[in-house]
Homo-oligomer: A and B are copies of this chain.
Amino acid sequence: MREHIVAVREDSRAAFHNNAAYCVGTGRMGLALHQEYQDQLRAVQALCGFRHIRGHGLFCGDMSVCQPYKDAEGVEREAYCFTYLDRVMDSYRAAGLRPFLELGFMPDQLASGDQTIFYWRGNVTPPRDEAKWTNLVRATLLHLKERYGEDEVSAWPCEVWNEPNLPGFWQNADKAAYLRLYEITAAAVKSALPKMPVGGPAICGGEGSQDWIRDFLSFCEEKALPVDFVSRHAYMGLTPERRGRYLYHGMRTVDDLLAEMRESRDIIDSFPRYRGLPMHITEFNTSYNPFCPIHDTALNAATVANLLARLGDVAASYSYWTFGDVFEEMGVPSTPFHGGFGLMANGLIPKPTLWTFHFFNNLSGECVHRDDNLVLMRRGDGEWEGVAWNLCGQGRDDALEIALRLPGKGPLALLTRTVDDDHGNPLAHWLRMGQPASLNAEQLAFLRQSAQPLCASRGVEEQDGALVARLTLARNAVTHFRIAPCEAHPDCGYDPGMYL
């Protein structure tokens, strides 16, 4: 058992930019029409309260926004259908969410080629006719403005395309073509909504990715284009191995990932014009594949805890990809657990990482200590709150004991909620059940119940004049703790002691 002692003084303070609740990712927008998607979204929002949501596919065929038709004379006319867009946006707002818009992919009707990505065939080629594309963008934004009001919609960030530095996502990863797309699209956005923040280049990492940021900003600077933020992605997966439908790979360290993000941040700041411009990590996760088993595990929860403690050091926001498992990029999953990105498995079963977000997104108070195992907040009136985690790579199995030495007076009680390999980890039970593809009611009820964190409480000891709260974390545990005064004033003599 490793031990970790944290001594807090009255004047302790620590930097901690906690923006975990800013945004969350989602499968393509058309899936937001699904009831299971909405059920998962409501469940996630009840626990995590995200403020924005970002996904692909606003202009994909299943959203049917672009809907030219032939009039009575047989002339083709541009027309737009906002039936589904309204439905999705209404549902987001009902869930307390604003979109972080991503403009893409190309409607088949406007595309210059037929290259597509994913099972659901998003067209990734430039527009055949730039005017028709910008008309589409403008018409869509003007419609949103009319429906939701200019002030509201102007608070929705708008990103141009997704990962154009990958040839799968943008034909040939053609940088010049992307910059042109950004130029005309950003102009269209601002012509519709002058105060809507617009940005790019929404790249993923890998070779040459930092150059994309540099070139993007140079281009914008040179052409004096509007650019209100820079966006990029952050994944930890190393070279993968595929077995059957699934993909397996090791993970980079959190330090390594942070260094990459820091480099992007520095590039932005190297432009005098753009110093301090917000950098949004519009996607992050461990693996970048929706069939990688890590996403279902407690290891993932602990890794994400470490990330959430640190990503605010380098980015304005960081959006977990994705909130739920209604997701089809590589096809429809056959089983409730399948390594999907989601914080919940299909069937409304929480995964461990859901709780990491629940714990971070609801933190309040002022940070007094932060390290690689712990974030500690002071809430005033003798109350403390925090998250602790014990990230153990493959093969390691060390429990961790954290002793928090706190100033002030007792008595205090410590309340903890914990997920680890044995608690709040429905995957473990599903594996023991024999990996059933279709869950019966009994199995589903068990898995949902097993997905709750373990709740515990104990007194805070007084020791050498200090108050000492002790947390014990098993391998890959993530623990939320709250410490609060607990002097009892028994109501008229209630004392169950003789029955305990």
* A residues lining the B interface (CB < 8 Å): 33-38, 64, 67, 69-72, 79-84, 86-87, 91, 143, 146-147, 243-246, 248, 291, 293-294, 296-297, 299-300, 331-335, 337-339, 346, 394, 411, 413, 415, 417, 421-422, 427-429, 431-435, 437-438, 440, 442, 446, 449-450, 452-459, 482, 484-496, 498-500
Q: Which of B80, B338, B434 contacts A485 (CB 8 A)?
A: B434
In the bound complex, residues from chain B placing their C-beta under 8 Å from that of A297 are: 496, 499-500
Shortest Cβ distance from A114 into chain B, in angstroms?
15
Would B449 and A428 count as touching, CB distance under 8 A? no
CA distance A446 to B346 in the complex (A): 25
CB-nearest residue of chain B to A337: B494
**CB-CB under 8 A for A487 and B434, given A81-B332, A331-B64:** yes
Q: Which of B417, B491, B495 contacts A335 (CB 8 A)?
A: B491
Q: Can you add 10 more A-B contacts, CB < 8 Å, to A422-B456, A434-B488? A: A34-B34, A35-B38, A81-B331, A147-B438, A337-B494, A421-B500, A431-B496, A432-B458, A434-B485, A435-B494
Would B499 and A293 count as touching, CB distance under 8 A? yes
Would B334 and A438 count as touching, CB distance under 8 A? no
CA distance A58 to B91 in the complex (A): 27
Would B333 and A83 count as touching, CB distance under 8 A? yes
In the bound complex, residues from chain B placing their C-beta under 8 Å from that of A458 are: 432
**CB-CB under 8 A for A433 and B415, given A339-B496, A496-B294, A498-B394:** yes
Q: Which of B38, B438, B446, B457 contacts A432 (CB 8 A)?
A: B457
In the bound complex, residues from chain B placing their C-beta under 8 Å from that of A299 are: 499-500
Can you give 7 contacting A-B residue pairs, CB < 8 Å? A83-B335, A293-B495, A432-B457, A432-B458, A434-B487, A434-B488, A435-B489
In the bound complex, residues from chain B placing their C-beta under 8 Å from that of A417 are: 446, 449
In the bound complex, residues from chain B placing their C-beta under 8 Å from that of A495 are: 243, 246, 248, 293
**CB-CB under 8 A for A496 and B296, given A34-B34, A243-B72, A438-B86:** yes
CA distance A352 to B342 in the complex (A): 33
Shortest Cβ distance from A365 into chain B, in angstroms?
13
Shortest Cβ distance from A179 into chain B, in angstroms?
33
Q: Which of B332, B411, B428, B482 contacts A64 (CB 8 A)?
A: B332
CB-nearest residue of chain B to A493: B244
Shortest Cβ distance from A306 into chain B, in angstroms?
15
Shortest Cβ distance from A194 into chain B, in angstroms?
21
CA distance A450 to B453 in the complex (A): 8
In the bound complex, residues from chain B placing their C-beta under 8 Å from that of A300 are: 499
Shortest Cβ distance from A111 into chain B, in angstroms?
17
**CB-CB under 8 A for A71 and B35, given A84-B332, A438-B82, A495-B293:** no
Would B35 and A83 count as touching, CB distance under 8 A? no
